[in-house]
Structure 1
Amino acid sequence: MADSSWLTEFPDMSRRELLTIRKTLDGLYRDFSREYGDTIESLFDPLLQFLIWFEDLLISTPWWLVLGVIIAVVYGATRSWKLSTGVLVSMLLIGYFGMWEDTMRTLSIITVCTLLSIILGIPIGILMSRSDKAQSVMTPLLDIMQTMPAFVYLIPVVMLLGIGKIPGVIAVVIYAIPPVIRLTNLGIRLVSRETLEAATAYGATPTQRLFGVQLPLAMPTIMAGINQTIMMALAMVVIASMIGVKGLGQPVLKSITNQYFTLGLLNGLAIVALAIMFDRVSQSYAKRSQRHLEGRDHG
């Protein structure tokens, strides 16, 4: 009898302890956000100002000039008139259906999030490739970042910084950065030992080996990571719209809540068009870089 009563009481004890722990942690985080939230938010002011400036620049610049720059960048990266024409037609259709401003807002935040992911992710990937200890520490963190539901990221960020562009950027970067870190690490580790030994024999320092041998040879793999990061950032557009990030995600969210089928479909197709554009351009650029590298090596 004593054993069975202990078994029945145990779940109640566990629930009480869990409730106490949760209340304690919630209180600590609430106090932390009230005490340091404004200070932490002020640290992101330069990023916020840049985001606002970049978004205003894309929206206020004449559409034909923005479109010309986009086509020039696409052709410069791919050297493909077929792909450039496809991007031109897609962007003209986006403008025709009245989604130009929202597309520019989405383009600005995705560009900034991708650049931040690259700036932060590649150095972390390099660190992981040069240190097994760093890899053992970072791998579980990356696993958590990739498997944690995206909505969960929004809770602490919104509690700390409120709603707006910066919380959206932070949530998108956390969600999208793991591929570029993982594939930078993988690409550098896949560089053959014989190649590194040859570079060392020619008197290359570790820094020269990294920037002159390892990173160029790992670039196709790193570009694959950047490609995945861009796709994951675009996947967060609708979720980020829930915390005030303007762009193509907000009309989609509005169409869900109000059952506007056409509005959601058109804006969803615009997101798909952006995703295909980024995907094809980054893949084509990676292939061109690989062919150039192989041609240089053979030469």
Structure 2
Amino acid sequence: MSEVKKIATRESYGNALTELGAKHENLVVLDADLAAATKTGVFKKAYPERHIDCGIAECNMMGIAAGLAATGKVPFASTFAMFAAGRAFEQIRNSIGYPKLNVKIGATHAGISVGEDGATHQCNEDIALMRTIPGMVVINPADDVEARAAVYAAYEHEGPVYMRFGRLAVPVINDHPDYKFEIGKGITLKDGKDMTIIATGLCVSESLEAAKLLAADGIDARVINIHTIKPLDEALVVKAAKETGRIFTVEEHSIIGGLGSAVCDTLAAQAPTKVTKIGVEDTYGESGPAVELIHKYGLDAEGIYKKIKESL
């Protein structure tokens, strides 16, 4: 059996920007001295006159992006998630969100899969922070195909968009002809009647593998990929809750304020259902190889399987 192709979604980000750059002259890319890491260096090589390195000044970069958007450009401001959502939160809130400017934020190196960079760089709070900004679209793609599609959709969307990308290469699971990306619409990857796993980002492929382990125990799990956390596909979430009666959310993010919280908000209001949130507990990450950290924090297929079995 051939090995599954793996690509880091930050690579997808850089490649998609370069493809879009050939079609749209109003697309401008900003970076904060991290073009090699965020992969916007690919765009810089192709269109140097439309790439602005703002230096290690992320707050200033968001202000520049806001100004460019006000002139009709479509800026993609790029840096690590910790510096985008964390350091530049106020500028995103007040200079981009409040005036509803057409700025796209490409936040790479999110979650504990940043690995050896350690707790200071492992941003497990960014989805929670960005969800609170009125009008902000929050997207967390699962693989290369979805990440590319997300960049294209972000360009077409009028208004601020936060996109979350990873450092670690992850399996490509959406490479089939009928794949369709639509902001605000989740995707049922596997049907099931006993319970539902709602996952986002790199945890989607791991959840599919966990479902196979559960199937071996006679548990028929539905698996849903939620690439857009805001706006959430509430109809799909409610439908799954009503049909399977039990929900598990899985995310490489704090269990506070992320996908799990968004799902709980929806179900509490529309279809009260027991939900178990699987993610990073109320703790910081730590330095170590990405794959080992994902295993330690219970976010690989084995960890997801064990947590679901314990809960059931």
Give the TM interval when normalised to the shorter protein.
under 0.3
Relative to the length of structure 1, the TM-score reads 0.26
Relative to the length of structure 2, the TM-score reads 0.25
Larger Rg: 1
Structure with the higher helix share, 1 or 2: 1
Structure with the higher strand share, 1 or 2: 2
